[in-house]
Structure 1
Amino acid sequence: MGAFVPPAAAATAAPVPGRAPAPVPVPAGAEPDTGAGASSVPRLDWAPCLHTPRYHCATARVPLDHRRPRGRTIELALIKRPAVEPHRRVGSLFYHPGLRADGTAALRESYEDFPLAVRKRFDLVSWDMRGTGQSTPVRCFRSTAQALRWAEKVPDGFPVGARERKVWIRSWAELGRRCAERAPALLRHMSAADTARDLDLLRAAVGDRGLNYLGTSYGTFVGATYANLFPHRVRAMTLDSNVNPREWVRRGSWLPTFLRQDFDLASAQGLSRFLDLCGRSTPDDCAFSAGNPQATRTKFERLLHRLRHDPQGYWTYAATVSFVVEQLRDVDPGWTELADKLQDLWENSSPAEPGSGLRARTLPAPAHAPTHTDDDYPGYEWQYAMMCGESPNPRDPRRYRAIESFSRARAGDPGSYWTWRNEPCATWPVRAANPYTGPWDRQTAAPVLTVGITNDPTTPYEGSLAMTRQLADARLLTVKGDGHISLQNPSDCVKHHESRYFIKGVLPPRGTVCRQDHRPFGPLG
């Protein structure tokens, strides 16, 4: 994958509209956003990306504050993979990968995961969300080296014990102060509503009258926000592995964002299922198997107890729990790799550290370190810049120890992981200037397709049920299986229904249940 390079000059892509939706009435309470009519539609000069000429890159200029369309502007870095069959092209399909934010890298990594029928008929487009990556970025450190020096102080995974909690809280508060000093204006305009308004300008820039969109994880919240700001412009929208939008913005709770969403319970369920299926498998299929589920659970508990008191180099208790929680998201090859790592630790053979060496897997930062930036700036602050300004969280860092105890009581070890992933929001210094907090039930021009995995270890299936209920017109496609995000845990059944929906606007029948193509530690499903 090559670095993103803003192209010099190329012909602007010709407008090829998708199916144009008819205007629909908007429920009383608040008017929909005026969208692209209030701001100038950006010009996109597409040109082949450096080192990856099958992809085209462009830069869009959009308002920093969409309420002041003639004020300061920022840049958005875009990437596009043109339709395989341009003569049959339907339009552009925008992809939002969630809190990882670096869409220009995510599209290249996930392109083959999209249904072939969709790749044939749509230009696939993504972008680095405002404030991140190669878009105009929030950079709270002067250099990559300074960011990495800061990261070296932060305990791996999450803090264990009073001393580490003190260091953790102090370190993330320091990051917040740096961010407020270096990018206060941009930080006020990084909410999902800001991104949704960017998205509407990008939709207009590619010439589509209606939006085609696939959002995963946090990208489902951005999609729901767009659907309620611009309900008349939704042509086709798939929301994969959903958050609960009302809970994301709910005020007055003593629980932080991720616990309001029950991410800790989802991870506990995912871990339980991993150990159960591993225990039912032979060691040839799951290296960590102890012969049956209960023995495998006991083996795992003994391993964590040992690592608490006798860590193996990088592999502390907290780093191991964090790795487990994150590895559960991708079943193939993630679960097999997880079993191999755990068995190596069990045998006192220290496995290699995960990730790229930027510690992005164990710091509560983007789930995947950006791989396309010119200087490998790690962007530890980016997900918090998007999340903390709009989603309410307890503001006293001292409360998080009690919150951790609550979460551990109901979810076990993953409770610590999810509690402390949220704690940086306690001292985050900037609130979003214009977040969208509802309503969520404005009638859209076309129905929305939601996709939920029954054993999702991050966004629980109940989040997809909630999203489906809260939107005015949504149909749920249930996936019986494991892992987080159906796009990365494939099902030919899901691909069939998504293709029919995106191309023809045909929803799956109510109550449709798909199975994944692979079972963990087993043959084809």
Structure 2
Amino acid sequence: MTKAQFRRALAVTTVAACLATTVTAFTATGASAHGRPGAGHDRTSRAEAARVDRVPTPDPGWYDCSSIFMPGSECGTVELPLDYDQPRKGTTEVALLRVRATDPAQRIGSLFVNPGGPGGSGVEIAAFAPYFLSPEVLARFDVVGLDPRGTNYSSNVQCFRNVGEQDAALSGMYVPFPQGQGQTAAFVDSAWKLGKACSTTGTPLSASMSTAQVARDMDVVRRAVGDEKLTFLGFSYGSYLGQVYANMFPDRVRAVTIDGVLDPLAWAGTRATANIPVTERLASGTAAWRATQEILDRCEQAGPDLCRTAGIGEPRAVWDGVAAGLRATPIELRDPETDELIVTVDWPVFVSAVLGTLYAPEAYLGVDALTWAIHWLLQPETPENAEIRAEALASLVGYERAQQQNAAEHAATRTERASELGFAFPYYNGTEAFSAVLCTDSVNPRRPEDWIAASERQDAIAPGFGPSWTWGSAQCASKAWTARDEDAWTGRFDARTASPVLVVGNLWDPATAYEGAVAAAKVLPNSRLLTSDNWGHTAYGTSACATEAIDRYLIGGELPVEGTQCTGDVQPFVDQPMSRGSQAPRALPPVVPPVPGSTPRSS
């Protein structure tokens, strides 16, 4: 992709919501966050230093793209080695976006950001920076986003020859998760086809997209923007990128913050856990189930005046009734005026809709509304309930119409961009990009069929949510996905970094279980865990406490006091404050959940 094409392809939508701050501190002098001043730090290995340091510092060719984004924003591209062990055997193009510091006289350096995924766009989250980062952070840093190799505006991985071939191969995966023998067989067949296609047609790029390669790219770009050490804010899967970087380049860390944290050992896997799918090891299904059940419990406590589901009966019992009803008899959701079939709501579709609502701080509203509406549509129609069933149908039709409209708008945007780039048909590579990172990073069972037993195990622990998360990695089966990145990170995760790593875990996160943050902080000797009692996915922007803690560390290296726990401003079924802080309302970061097809949190 040329710079001109890149410039035309970029487009961003604006969001809005909230921000603010408070915390006590620790000065970043290289002292351990665990209270051992002067303990020293580990060094980048000679082999790893040789890989990245021999790459000539690239020139991104920054050009002004203020007309598309914000004043002071710049775009660029760099060519980086496809294989850092053999840098002369081909390159891949990586797209960058930079938003300049608003107070150049007080500028500290660059803040690298990543929204998760894997496969989320660093370019787009950097473009969003003026809307969700605090003015203090924006004043002190150039915000830099790079699109991980193979994704978005960087050179794209493509596992199929065309969109028709792609659609035919992946059609079995077009369900939130399979239910019944027919769907399961189709899903397994598509997982085989995806793994094999990405291990043949998709190479060599698909075999060079591990997180370690992105960390190497980020280190080269760090040098290109003139920073001696890395300042990084990574959300969701971006937390794993931050952890890999910190362990590969421990002496090059200035300030790394990870929010919505993946357990690194669960993501990568070990010999002992190789027969458990990565998406089962992460326990995201358990996290989503736990959040849902807590909302139902608080619904019961609040009563029917604040939670409609409580007016039906005991909320957990109502949920169980909805689950049983949808497993037995899906609902055909039809337009009440035209009788047009809009969507068939079965158990997987319902779980997927609820999961989508759980990514927002206002998660309780979606759980209550969806449970209440589906309950009434599962009841036989009588003269007594006709009015309430009509209300339930109208609310669900409106919800689904809005979802379809959003999807259509996104598809139209992709088509327009593809047309500008000269493509007759847009090729969406999100599933392939996600898979190329996940499957080269992690060890997994041998065959996609092994996910059937894994899904059943998880369904017993976290009904619905367990299978929804677990099936997301079936293409990574080692017999299906045979492309290997020999330079993927297989080292340990306990390097002592030059500066501390701030680890932020959310108690009610439905995607990255709080236990992942605990595990990451436990293994990293120079880290500090900040706990947040908030709803939705990740913590930044959900309270003054959490946001201020992260800001203070990024700017001045000050850590929150050990044991600090923040509380999200939005809590289920209680009166909410006007905003999430004392400053003007700001957006939540546009975080991408770590499973394909999941609904990102809206602001």
Query: TM bucket by the smaller chain?
Result: 0.7 to 0.9
Distance in 1 (CA, whole Å) between partners of 2:222 and 2:412 is: 25
Quick check: 1:325 aligned with 2:355?
A: yes
The aligned runs of 1:328-477 (5 Å cut-off) are 328-332=358-362, 334-348=363-377, 349=393, 350-351=396-397, 352=400, 355=403, 374-375=417-418, 377-378=427-428, 379-426=430-477, 427-477=480-530
Distance in 2 (CA, whole Å) between partners of 1:220 and 1:302 is: 37
Deviation at 1:53, TM superposition (A): 4.6
Q: In the alignment, which residue of structure 2 is the partner of 1:234?
A: 253
Q: In 2, are the aligned partners of 1:238 and 1:448 still within 8 Å (CA)? A: yes
Quick check: 1:496 aligned with 2:548?
A: yes
Distance in 2 (CA, whole Å) between partners of 1:264 and 1:473 is: 29
Distance in 2 (CA, whole Å) between partners of 1:369 and 1:220 is: 29
Distance verdict in 2 for CA 1:498–1:154, change over 3 Å: closer
SS of alignment partner, residue 153 of structure 2: coil
2:276 to 244, 247, 255: 255
Distance verdict in 2 for CA 1:142–1:277, change over 3 Å: farther
Distance in 2 (CA, whole Å) between partners of 1:216 and 1:4 is: 30
Q: In the alignment, which residue of structure 2 is the partner of 1:12?
A: none
Q: In the alignment, which residue of structure 1 is the partner of 2:53?
A: 37
Which of 218-227 and 345-354 deviates more? 345-354
Q: In the alignment, which residue of structure 1 is the partner of 2:149?
A: 130
- Tell which structure's C-alpha radius of gyration is larger: 2
Distance in 1 (CA, whole Å) between partners of 2:496 and 2:4 is: 38
Q: In 2, are the aligned partners of 1:159 and 1:165 still within 8 Å (CA)? A: yes
Letter in 2 for 1:400: W
Distance in 2 (CA, whole Å) between partners of 1:377 and 1:298 is: 44
Quick check: 1:6 aligned with 2:10?
A: no
1:518 to 550, 566, 570: 570
Distance in 1 (CA, whole Å) between partners of 2:568 and 2:456 is: 35
Kindly provide the CA deviation profile for residues 405-448 of structure 1, in whole angstroms up to 9, marking residues without a partner as x: 21112222211112211222123232222111222222211111
Distance in 2 (CA, whole Å) between partners of 1:165 and 1:301 is: 23
Quick check: 1:279 aligned with 2:278?
A: no
Kindly provide the CA deviation profile for residues 319-358 of structure 1, in whole angstroms up to 9, marking residues without a partner as x: 11122223212223x4424433444434441431675679
Q: In 2, are the aligned partners of 1:4 and 1:372 still within 8 Å (CA)? A: no
What stretches of structure 2 of length at least 5 have no aligned partner?
A: 9-27, 32-37, 333-342, 378-392, 419-425, 578-603
Q: In 1, are the aligned partners of 2:30 and 2:498 still within 8 Å (CA)? A: yes
SS of alignment partner, residue 162 of structure 1: helix
Letter in 1 for 2:475: P
Q: In the alignment, which residue of structure 1 is the partner of 2:324?
A: 305
Distance in 2 (CA, whole Å) between partners of 1:306 and 1:359 is: 28
Distance in 2 (CA, whole Å) between partners of 1:301 and 1:178 is: 40
Deviation at 1:144, TM superposition (A): 4.5
Q: In the alignment, which residue of structure 2 is the partner of 1:78?
A: 96
1:96 to 105, 114, 117: 114
Distance verdict in 2 for CA 1:340–1:189, change over 3 Å: same
Q: In the alignment, which residue of structure 2 is the partner of 1:365?
A: none
Which of 243-252 and 230-239 deviates more? 243-252
Q: In 2, are the aligned partners of 1:281 and 1:291 still within 8 Å (CA)? A: no
Distance verdict in 2 for CA 1:369–1:205, change over 3 Å: farther
CA RMSD of aligned residues (A): 3.0
Letter in 1 for 2:193: E
Kindly provide the CA deviation profile for residues 166-209 of structure 1, in whole angstroms up to 9, marking residues without a partner as x: 00111122222332332211111111110100010111111111
Letter in 1 for 2:157: V
Distance in 2 (CA, whole Å) between partners of 1:146 and 1:277 is: 47
1:141 to 160, 168, 178: 160
Deviation at 1:465, TM superposition (A): 1.1
Q: In 2, are the aligned partners of 1:26 and 1:442 still within 8 Å (CA)? A: yes
